[in-house]
């Protein structure tokens, strides 16, 4: 990821003995982070996405949930959502000391020109450099700061009730401002009488969970599992009417154990799995999450899955000894219902990512998670 490396290298060249505190928004793992940490008294890392959070922790770097308002330098790596990124930009500028510096690193094809223009509008002037199809641009906090614009960006990035689905969500959540087609289709074809213990795997802001709890009073308990902490916090707000039955887990469903436990196998799992990592397509991601979800089920437990119709998840279900069938195919999606059988897993363990031929990844129409 050249933009991240360029940003960290530019920061290293900027930092000197006068710099006490550096904060990084959307911090990403890199060997260069160690050198950044060595060049300041305090390094504050902000990362709400569990896989990156865990990578930073494994590198011996601690993350914080919020920034302090005394940073000398702030670094920012944009997310996929512009409103979320502009909110971070405004927060970072507000939290800088007078004369403090905000530096942003972004690939050209991820909106670098647009973000540079936005920072100039916010701060008054910017410095910029380009390399390897990326830009690093920066601005100082001064009297030119447009405080009204900063407040607007902060407000636009906050969680709020969304009219289209009536739930609390915020920019950056998957399909944050309207129900996604895949989840709507899955809800349409779920049983109306789910019972016992279940899991909403990759729950987002809780769109599936809320409707499931409304429709199935016989549910004893429901696990919410989500890698995006901001989305999970929204889900916890949305599911409050049933909070005595809810257990929320901020987890990387690929690398971390799911909360069902050896003695608490689940009756059912619903899942609308992602198939992107950041900006990049990663079909193996969804396959691994589905495999781990299958492991959480007891014998005869049910998996209800929505997926892009061309994603090859049936092979994963076969490997996990899941009897399965396609309930419906509509609007580029398929709904799969699978039942867990008995016996040991065939082939590779679920913790390993299944291999795919490169030709299977080409020419797909992509719907759903982005």
325: which strand partners?
337
Average pLDDT score, the chain: 90
pLDDT at 115 over 80: yes
Q: pLDDT tens, 120-148? A: 999 999 999 999 999 999 999 999 999 99
**Which tokens hold the place of 359?**
């030709």
pLDDT confidence bin for 281, thresholds 50/70/90: low
Please report the pLDDT score of residue 347 as a whole number.
39
Give the pairing of strands 196-201 and 333-340: unpaired
Q: pLDDT tens, 302-361? A: 999 999 998 989 999 999 989 999 999 999 999 999 999 865 444 334 333 444 433 333
Please report the pLDDT score of residue 261 as a whole number.
54
Give the integer Cα–Cα distance in Å for 225 and 235.
10
Domains of the chain by range and CATH? 2-156 (3.40.50.150), 160-361 (3.40.50.150)
Look at the alpha carbons of 213, 218, 221, 222 in this order and tell me if their dihedral is positive or negative.
Answer: negative
The predicted model gives 65-84 an average pLDDT of: 94
DSSP state of 353: P
pLDDT at 363 over 70: no
Please report the pLDDT score of residue 283 as a whole number.
74
Helix 112-123 vs helix 82-95: crossing angle, to nearest 10: 40
Give the integer Cα–Cα distance in Å for 320 and 341.
9
Cα–Cα distances (Å) from 8 to 41, 122, 307, in that order, read 16, 23, 37
In the chain, pLDDT over 90 holds for what percent of residues? 83
- Residue 363's CB is within 10 A of a number of other CB atoms, namely 7
- Residue 153's CB is within 10 A of a number of other CB atoms, namely 22
Q: Is the pTM of this model over 0.95?
A: no
43: which strand partners?
22
H or E element in which residue 100 lies: strand 96-107
Task: Judge whether 224 and 235 are in contact, CB under 8 Å.
Answer: yes
Give the integer Cα–Cα distance in Å for 233 and 235.
5
Question: Quick one: CA torsion of 271, 276, 277, 280, rounded to 10 degrees?
Answer: 180
Task: Select the more confidently predicted residue: 283 or 267.
Answer: 267
Tell me the DSSP string of 222-280. Answer: EEEEESBHHHHHHHHHHTGGGGGGEEEEE--TTTS--TT-TT--EEEEEE----EETTE
- Residue 278's CB is within 10 A of a number of other CB atoms, namely 14
Please report the pLDDT score of residue 68 as a whole number.
81
> For residue 74, which of 34, 46, 49 has the smallest C-alpha distance?
46
- Residue 250's CB is within 10 A of a number of other CB atoms, namely 18
pLDDT confidence bin for 366, thresholds 50/70/90: very low
Give the integer Cα–Cα distance in Å for 197 and 210.
15
The predicted model gives 65-85 an average pLDDT of: 94
Cα–Cα distances (Å) from 257 to 18, 247, 313, in that order, read 44, 15, 21
């Amino acid at each position: 990821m050249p933009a991240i490396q360029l940003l960290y290298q530019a920061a290293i060249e900027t930092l000197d003995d006068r710099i006490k505190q550096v904060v990084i928004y959307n911090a990403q793992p890199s060997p260069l982070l160690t050198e950044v940490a060595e060049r300041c008294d305090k390094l504050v890392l902000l990362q709400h996405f569990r896989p990156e959070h865990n990578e930073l922790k494994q590198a011996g770097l601690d993350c914080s949930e919020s920034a302090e308002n005394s940073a000398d330098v702030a670094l920012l790596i944009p997310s996929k959502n512009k409103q979320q990124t502009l909110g971070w930009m405004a927060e970072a500028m507000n939290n800088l000391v007078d004369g403090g510096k905000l530096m942003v690193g972004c690939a050209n094809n991820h909106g670098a020109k647009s973000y540079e223009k936005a920072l100039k509008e916010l701060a008054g002037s910017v410095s910029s450099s380009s390399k390897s199809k990326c830009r690093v641009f920066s601005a100082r906090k001064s009297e030119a700061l447009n405080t009204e614009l900063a407040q607007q960006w902060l407000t636009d990035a906050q969680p709020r009730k969304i009219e289209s689905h009536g739930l609390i969500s915020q920019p950056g959540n998957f399909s944050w401002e309207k129900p996604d087609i895949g989840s709507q289709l899955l809800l349409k074809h779920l049983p109306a009488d789910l019972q016992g213990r279940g899991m909403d795997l990759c729950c987002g802001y809780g769109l599936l969970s809320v409707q499931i709890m409304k429709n199935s009073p016989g549910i004893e308990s429901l696990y919410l599992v989500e890698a995006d902490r901001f989305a999970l916090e929204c889900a916890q707000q949305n599911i409050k009417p049933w909070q005595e039955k809810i257990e929320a887990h901020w987890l990387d469903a690929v690398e971390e154990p799911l909360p069902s436990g050896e003695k608490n196998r689940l009756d059912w799992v619903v899942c609308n799995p992602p198939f992107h990592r950041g900006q990049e397509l990663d079909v193996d991601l969804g396959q691994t999450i589905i495999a781990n979800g299958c492991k959480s089920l007891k014998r005869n437990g049910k998996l209800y899955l929505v997926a892009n119709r061309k994603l090859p998840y049936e092979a994963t279900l076969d490997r996990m000894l899941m009897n399965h069938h396609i309930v419906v195919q509509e609007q580029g999606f398929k709904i799969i219902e699978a039942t867990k059988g008995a016996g040991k897993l065939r082939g590779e363990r679920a913790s390993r990512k299944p291999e795919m031929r490169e030709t299977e990844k080409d020419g797909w129409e992509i719907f759903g998670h982005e």
